[in-house]
């Protein structure tokens, strides 16, 4: 029986329809894939391609590696070169935070400030980038702003909520936050470690991480739309001390072009130690551990080493005047990387160096012992007429020693323009939460325009101050001058006028703030020449 022509036509049409449907499905799948690619921007770095996120008007890359993981035999060594990779490295999640004691919020430092997401890991040398989407299309390279977190060199993370870089990126800045090693992993000095080093030093691994990140930025940031010739480094607390360390380091020369140091510095701080002191402390520390040799400790799991190093009496870990990363003896003089600088403090910094209660007789006795024939002048500037007056004098001395004097010293050493500030604005109250005033770190969300990441009922005044401070910082990153139309004028600091910008409910320039106090302290701590 011959085939039915109509049936053949039906079969032919059915096959054709199936092919069309299959082709349509393939097109849909291809469009979905293209859409995914469109939502995951890709950038080619010197080591390989990375993909990120597209969020509205921004490209965001989280967890971009800038050095080899400092694990195993690389523990307590300078960051090693990053290995190339094939394919596309997905960079859409924050990296692990550096090893540290479990970060638990306390006092004024709520979860937005001091609770970096877990996990914690030695494999932490990564950075995060926020950039206006497709900046390459404009052909214009954008200023780069590099944020270095605080945490006393024992804690911290680039993933903290208030370090988000989206708002800076929306103002035409490539914003970068970096991780660096802290605590025993970042700042252990030891004779054996110095001996194995080709530079015969140890203890500044966290600072070397920061320098490695800046070198990566110089080599790669143009691919993300950034200008490698316009890089601002900025940080608060230990981040501020890191900024001033980078200003002092010959290894960082040419890696940045402006600097912002908020609440802290090493030019007048007791935090930095010389190499022999640091090695001796490190040797005593290692002798207390089990096992107690460097080779064995490199094999110890990071969590166990962290646990052992967190015990009482284990000492502190901080930068070292080692003669390589930092000058060996700053009192003998050194050149700094002079760049335009913003530096200052918040009034609540005084609490970090507040002395215990002392009687009038003991206060005067200590003044005579320390200042000799200048004790009378000291007591006029820091009086002791009553218990309350002594407390106010001690608070002033605490504020000056921890934050104001390092800022003053940096401006004296710097050959470029310096802009100084004091922030005394008290953030709005949170119901059921103590009011800690203008506390240490409180200015950071205003500066970085991240009040929306801090859970409070903000007022119009808070948002106005946030806008002003962000614009000062952004202007400075773009041009080296924080001023622009619509902002209260911020005058350059000089030793004669002593201009300092006061940031409170009102923002205004104040000449001579703390001038007599700083001039007195300078006589006993002469600026390094």
Burial class from Cβ neighbours inside 10 Å (0-12, 13-18, 19+) for residue 236 reads: buried
Q: Report the pLDDT value the prediction gives residue 28, as an integer from 0 to 100.
A: 42
Enter the pTM of the model. Answer: 0.91
Q: What is the pLDDT of residues 194-235, one digit of tens each?
A: 999 999 999 999 999 999 999 999 999 999 999 999 999 999
Query: Could you tell me which residue, 506 or 39, shows the higher pLDDT?
Result: 506
Q: Report the pLDDT value the prediction gives residue 355, as an integer from 0 to 100.
A: 78
Residue 19 lies in a domain: no
- Of the pLDDT bands very low, low, confident and very high (cuts 50, 70, 90), residue 3 is low
**Which runs of E-coded beta strand occur in 204-322?**
226-236, 258-262, 273-274, 320-321
Q: Report the pLDDT value the prediction gives residue 29, as an integer from 0 to 100.
A: 41
Mean pLDDT score across all residues of the chain: 89
Model confidence at 135: pLDDT above 70? no
Range name among 103-107, 250-254, 418-422, 456-460 with the lowest pLDDT average = 103-107
User: Cα–Cα distance between 66 and 50 in angstroms, integer?
Assistant: 12
Model confidence at 51: pLDDT above 90? yes
Q: What is the pLDDT of residues 389-434, one digit of tens each?
A: 999 999 999 999 899 999 999 998 999 999 999 999 999 988 888 8
- Of the pLDDT bands very low, low, confident and very high (cuts 50, 70, 90), residue 259 is very high
Q: Report the pLDDT value the prediction gives residue 203, as an integer from 0 to 100.
A: 96
Model confidence at 307: pLDDT above 80? yes
User: Cα–Cα distance between 77 and 401 in angstroms, integer?
Assistant: 33
Strands 58-65 and 126-132: antiparallel
Q: How many CB atoms lie within 10 A of CB 489?
A: 11
Model confidence at 461: pLDDT above 50? yes
Residue 86 lies in a domain: yes
Q: How many helices (H) and strands (E) does the chain have?
A: 17, 16
Average pLDDT over residues 114-132: 89
379-394 as b/e: b if 16+ CB within 10 A: beebebeeeeebeebb
Tell me the two tokens of residue 512: 């001579």
When divided into structural domains, the chain yields a total of 1
Residue 2 lies in a domain: no
Q: Report the pLDDT value the prediction gives residue 522, as an integer from 0 to 100.
A: 86
Residue 352 lies in a domain: no
Query: Could you tell me which residue, 125 or 455, shows the higher pLDDT?
Result: 125
Residue 160 DSSP one-character state: -
Residue 529 lies in a domain: no
Q: Report the pLDDT value the prediction gives residue 359, as an integer from 0 to 100.
A: 94
CATH code assigned at 87: 3.40.50.1820
- Supply φ then ψ for residue 156, to 5 degrees: 125, 165
- Supply φ then ψ for residue 518, to 5 degrees: -70, -40
Q: In what order do the strands lie in the sheet with 88-90?
A: 42-44, 49-51, 88-90
Distance between alpha carbon 243 and the CA centroid of its chain, in Å?
8
Are the CB atoms for 163 and 236 separated by under 8 Å? no
Q: Which of 128, 71, 121, 66 is nearest to 94 (CA)?
A: 128
Range of the structural domain that residue 65 is part of = 40-340
Residue 400 DSSP one-character state: I
401-410 as b/e: b if 16+ CB within 10 A: bbbbbbbbbb
Residue 89 lies in a domain: yes
Residue 272 lies in a domain: yes
- Of the pLDDT bands very low, low, confident and very high (cuts 50, 70, 90), residue 21 is low
Query: Could you tell me which residue, 344 or 354, shows the higher pLDDT?
Result: 344
Burial class from Cβ neighbours inside 10 Å (0-12, 13-18, 19+) for residue 493 reads: buried
Tell me the two tokens of residue 470: 């962000």
Residue 473 lies in a domain: no
User: Cα–Cα distance between 294 and 284 in angstroms, integer?
Assistant: 13
């Amino acid at each position: 029986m011959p085939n039915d022509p109509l049936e053949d036509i039906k079969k032919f049409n059915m096959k054709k329809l199936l092919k069309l449907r299959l082709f349509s499905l393939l097109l849909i799948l291809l469009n979905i894939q293209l859409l995914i690619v469109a939502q995951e921007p890709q950038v080619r770095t010197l080591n390989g391609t990375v993909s990120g996120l597209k969020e509205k008007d921004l490209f965001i890359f989280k967890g971009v590696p800038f050095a080899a993981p400092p694990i195993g035999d690389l523990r307590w060594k300078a960051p090693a070169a990053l290995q190339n990779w094939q394919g596309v490295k997905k960079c859409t999640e924050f990296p692990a935070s550096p090893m540290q004691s479990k970060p638990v919020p306390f006092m004024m430092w709520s979860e937005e400030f001091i609770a970096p997401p877990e996990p914690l890991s030695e494999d932490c040398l990564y950075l995060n980038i926020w950039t206006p989407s497709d900046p390459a299309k404009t052909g214009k390279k954008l200023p780069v702003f590099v944020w270095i977190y605080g945490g006393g060199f024992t804690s911290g993370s680039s993933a903290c909520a208030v370090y988000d870089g989206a708002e800076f990126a929306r103002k035409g800045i490539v914003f970068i936050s970096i991780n660096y090693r802290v605590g025993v992993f970042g700042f252990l000095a030891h004779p054996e470690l110095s001996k194995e080093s080709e530079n015969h030093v140890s203890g500044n691994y966290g600072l070397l991480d920061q320098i490695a990140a800046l070198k990566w930025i110089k080599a790669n940031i143009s691919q993300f739309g950034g200008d490698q010739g316009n890089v601002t480094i900025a940080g608060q607390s230990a981040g501020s001390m890191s900024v001033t360390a980078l200003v002092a380091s010959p290894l960082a020369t040419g890696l940045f072009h402006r600097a912002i140091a908020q609440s802290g510095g090493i030019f007048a701080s007791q935090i930095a130690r010389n190499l022999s002191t640091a090695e001796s402390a490190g040797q005593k520390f290692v002798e207390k551990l089990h096992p107690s040799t460097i080779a064995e400790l490199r094999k110890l799991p990071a969590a166990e080493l962290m646990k052992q190093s967190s015990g009482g009496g284990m000492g502190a870990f901080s930068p070292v005047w080692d003669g390589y990363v930092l000058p060996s003896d700053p009192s003998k003089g050194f050149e700094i990387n002079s760049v335009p600088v913003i530096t200052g403090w918040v009034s609540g910094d005084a609490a970090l160096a507040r002395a215990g209660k002392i009687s009038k007789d003991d206060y005067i006795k200590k003044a005579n012992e320390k200042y000799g024939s200048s004790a009378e002048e000291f007591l006029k500037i820091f009086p002791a007429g009553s218990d309350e007056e002594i407390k106010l004098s001690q608070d002033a001395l605490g504020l000056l020693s921890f934050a104001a004097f390092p800022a003053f010293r940096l401006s004296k050493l710097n050959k470029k323009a310096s802009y100084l500030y004091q922030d005394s604005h008290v953030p709005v109250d949170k119901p059921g939460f103590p009011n800690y005033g203008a506390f240490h770190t409180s200015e950071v969300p205003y500066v970085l325009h991240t009040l929306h990441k801090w859970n409070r009922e903000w007022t119009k005044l808070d948002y106005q101050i946030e806008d002003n401070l962000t614009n000062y910082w952004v202007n400075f990153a773009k041009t080296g001058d924080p001023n622009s139309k619509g902002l209260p004028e911020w005058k350059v600091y000089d030793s004669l006028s002593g201009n300092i910008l006061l940031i409170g409910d009102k923002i205004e320039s104040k000449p001579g703030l703390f001038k007599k106090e700083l001039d007195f302290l300078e006589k006993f701590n002469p600026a390094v020449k």
